[in-house]
Every structure is written in C-alpha cells, then in structure tokens.
Amino acid sequence: MSAADVPSTFGGCRHLPEPKREELKVHSRRVVLASVLDPRDRATRGSALEEIQGLAETAGAEVVGRLVQMKDKPDPATYLGKGKLQELKDLVRESGADLVVVDNHLSPSQGKNIEEETGTQVVDRSEVILDIFATHARTYEARLQVELAQLLYMRPRLTRMWTHLERIEGGIGSGKGPGEKQLETDRRLVDRRISELQRKLKDVEERRERVVAGRKGHTTVSLVGYTNAGKSTLMRALTGADVYVADQLFATLDTRTRKWAIPHWGDVLLSDTVGFIKNLPHHLVASFRSTLEEARHADLLLHVVDASHPDAEQQIATVNTVLKDLGIDSQEPLLVLNKVDAVEDRSLVDVLRGRHPGSVTISAAQKMGLDRLEQAVAERLGEGYLQLDVETSVGNGRLFAYLSEHAEVLGKEYHDSRVKMQCRIPRRFAGMLASDPETEVRNADGSAFRVSADDDDEDAAPVNGREGRSTPG
Ligand SMILES: Nc1nc2c(ncn2[C@@H]2O[C@H](COP(=O)(O)OP(=O)(O)OP(=O)(O)O)[C@@H](O)[C@H]2O)c(=O)[nH]1
Ligand SMILES: [Mg+2]
C-alpha cells in the first residue's frame, strides 16, 4: 500500500468533511512500536516499550514489531535518526505493519516526515490514549470530554494536512490557494465545535459542582492513582459497588460515588476516578477537569499504587505530578500499596513502605488488609475533627440546627432542661460552638474547650445567628 492510499493523520489527508474524529486509528491495526530512549534513563530500559504496548493493545492493535533507539534527544525533524528511520522502514515492510506507533509526543512535522519516509501512517502516544478514551467513554459527559480533547489535539495539525495541496495547486502570488481556503474553513468548523463542546461541558461542570456542594455535610474520600493500579477493584471491595474492573488501561473514565461504611467512624462517600499515566496529554487532563472535581473537594485522597509493578516508584511520582498540575495537592494523600499478593519478592514491598512511611499495604482483589486501611482512613479523617461534649438548654433550636448541619451527634443525655451531647465535628466548625452564650463546650477528656486559630472558620455561620448567614432553626 502506498502512502497515498492510507488515510493519514499527519500528512496527506484530502478530506475533512466533519471536524469530528470519530473513527478509531489504532483498532485492528498491525503496528510497529518505536521509541527514542535517553541512555541515562536506565530504570525504564528493560521495560521501555511495555506501557505503550499495553496502550496499543488496549486500543485494539496487534503489535508486530518493536524498535528502540538510544539517543539523548529525539531528532527535531524526523524523531528517529537517519539510520534508524531506514531500519523502521524495513521493519514495517517485513512485518506487514500498517501503522507506526511512537511512544512520545510528535510534532506535526515529525509525524509527517516519518510517514513520508516509511510510507505508513503514524500516530503518537497521545492519539493512542485518545482512541482508548473514545472507546471507553460511556456517559454524555465523558463523550464530550473526549471529543474536545480530540479536537484540541487535531487543531494544530490541520495546517500540515493542507500544505502539500498548497504546493501542488497554490498559484504564485495569486491570493489564497485552495489548500489555504480549505484550511480556513476547517479551522472555523473546528473552532465552532470546540466552543460548543466547551459550553456544554460548562453546563455539566456547573451541575457537578452543585452535586459536590450538596455533599458538604458528608465526609468524602476519592481514589486516585495510575491507570490499572486497582482503584475500581478497591471501590468494589470496600463498597460492593458494581463498578467495571478490567486488566486494561483507562477502564474507568467516569466518576462513580458510593457509600462506604467505615467501622468506628461511620459512613463516608467514596469516589472512583479516571486513572493517570505518564506523558498524559495536557489538554486531555484539562478536558477531564469536571470528572476530577470530586477529587478536588475530597476530605481525603487514597492514592492507589500497583506495588507489583516494576515502575511503581515512577508511577507514584507521575501521579503526584499530575495532582499538582491539577491543583489537587493541598493535602498529602494516603498511599495504598495494592496487589501485594502479586509481589514475589516481599523485600520490594518493604522498600516501598520504607520510602513512604504511613502507607498501607493491601490486596484489593483478595480483600486483604482492608481492615488496616479502614483504620488508617479513620485516623486520617479524625485529624480534621474534634470530639467534644456540648451541653445546652433543650430549647436551643439554633444550636441543634447547627449541629445537625455540621456535626455528628454520637450520644445524648437529658438532665431536666439541659441536654448533654457527645459530638464529632470538623475543627473548622468547632470554634462557633464556643461563641454561643447558652452552650458549654468541653473536650472529650472533660477539660475546657478553647478555640485555636485552626478551629475557626470564617465561612461558618455563628450559632447565635446574630450576624452573617444564619443557621435555620
Ligand atoms: N493480583 C492482583 N490483581 C489486582 C488487584 N487489584 C486489582 N487487580 C487487577 O488489576 C487490574 C486493574 O484493576 P482495576 O480495578 O480495573 O484498575 P483501575 O485502577 O480501576 O484501572 P483504570 O480504571 O483503568 O484506571 C484488573 O485486572 C484487576 O483484577 C490485587 O490486589 N491483586
Ligand atoms: Mg478503574
């Protein structure tokens, strides 16, 4: 097959009737994987192509060849060096491949140059991920997010699609050639669709923000982590939720939330989220902002790690970087070392635990260590709470309303016209209790409760309702 017969991504695409990228690029293709690896990056040398192979196979491809070049930096024009490019061309021919998958981000011109050299269509890592996302998107929201990410990826590549036409048909100094006109039309179409998608997503986001805000009175915990770490398996083990589990990358794209009853603590809402991966296209992360809204507002993040993976440490670092990029790094997540059943050499787990003090080891699949996890979660959640004895008159409706909104009442005793309650309350809401003249507040050990700077929240309504937003009651 010649290059001209192949519907190209980077090079000779003639038609772009719809600014949508609906067709899958990688599915049922025979692919050769190619990667440029920095020789200093010894850690990943052995497993260099494993992740991209997993991605390509999840996207439905058959891998028929692999090629790695050790080089400080990819070639700016052709990605691979000259000799390797020739090798790639031979490999493509010998293996009967019809697609080259490059394990990096390619500039539009790099992609086009490899296509011209090898006579085969080329896609990069981002496009494989986009393909998987497109296949796994189930909800309206996920579909909007994926289409937006696809168009944002495609837009800068439109230019290249038309330059060759320009060369063939564009007149010298005679205004705009057909390629350029077509390009303008396509860009306008793409831009219009991008705005439309952004508008629709904004609506979805606002709806989600309302849902998240509605959970204000509940404690929320979110599962985050590298893709395939076992987040959904853990969600299932803890809540019995019927979430999708698969040995696939990006099995989960939508956030699911379920009730999780933690012994000696109570109910919390647990959310499963989209997994992360290294070199995740930035616009893709941005498109999934609303899905990650739950994680942003969570009281606690559980960072799930596949402890049996040889690159576990690097995956932990990647997840931390993505969380930081998304601005979800105000709290230290609780590290959950999962799949310990699959680790043959236990000393590897000990190394991970040593490097990450406070982490918990579990096997979500075999439901091992879940009680320890629950205990650790209760402890971490408890850090943000105070246990207090609150005594007031039985007619203090405003106080009861305040407690029912912000606290959990663990016990109650009546003495004539007084009532004494044991409460668990987030620190930030505790300060306001002490401001109510009818109420006496003590710590659980009986000592007098004093307000510290941490225990005060400017947003919290005063219990006596004399100023600011008043509590109902
Ligand atoms: N051996 C072992 N396998 C596990 C364990 N937990 C999960 N798995 C397997 O790991 C694979 C991925 O599990 P998922 O729960 O889908 O992973 P995820 O983190 O939700 O993945 P994405 O949604 O793709 O980001 C599945 O094949 C699970 O059966 C475990 O504790 N031990
Ligand atoms: Mg999942």
Concatenated DSSP letters of 344-397: S-HHHHHHHHHHSTT-EE-BTTTTBSHHHHHHHHHHHHHTTEEEEEEEEETT-H
pTM, entire model = 0.78
- C-alpha 232 to ligand 1 mean position (Å): 7
State the DSSP code for 117.
H
Give the model confidence (pLDDT) of 401-417 as tens digits. Answer: 999 888 888 889 999 99
- C-alpha 273 to ligand 2 mean position (Å): 7
Please state the atom number of ligand 1 nearest to the C-alpha of residue 244.
16
pLDDT band per the 50, 70, 90 thresholds, residue 428: confident
Please state the atom number of ligand 1 nearest to the C-alpha of residue 364.
31
Domain annotation for the chain: domains and CATH numbers = 1-213 (3.40.50.11060), 220-382 (3.40.50.300), 385-455 (3.30.70.240)
d(CA 12, CA 97): 19
For ligand 1, residues with CB inside 6 Å are 225, 227-233, 245-252, 275, 338-339, 341-342, 363-365
| Residue of minimum CA distance from atom 32 in ligand 1 | 339
Give the model confidence (pLDDT) of 253-276 as tens digits. Answer: 777 889 999 987 888 999 998 888
CA terminus-to-terminus distance, the chain: 76
pLDDT band per the 50, 70, 90 thresholds, residue 6: very low
Give rounded-to-5 percent helix, strand, coil for the chain. Answer: 40, 20, 40
Query: Alpha helices, DSSP H only, in 214-308?
Result: 231-239, 282-287, 293-297
Pocket test for ligand 1, best of 51, 233, 337 (most atoms within 8 A of CB): 233
Query: Alpha helices, DSSP H only, in 214-311?
Result: 231-239, 282-287, 293-297
Token readout for 92 is 């493509």
| Cβ-Cβ contacts under 8 Å for 13 (sequence gap 6 or more) | 7, 161
Token pair 């990943």: residue: 44
Nearest to 292 by CA among 332, 319, 313: 319
Which ligand places an atom closest to the C-alpha of 245?
A: 1
Give the model confidence (pLDDT) of 114-148 as tens digits. Answer: 999 999 999 999 899 888 888 888 788 888 888 88
Q: Are strands 385-393 and 418-426 parallel, antiparallel or unpaired?
A: antiparallel
Which ligand places an atom closest to the C-alpha of 248?
A: 1
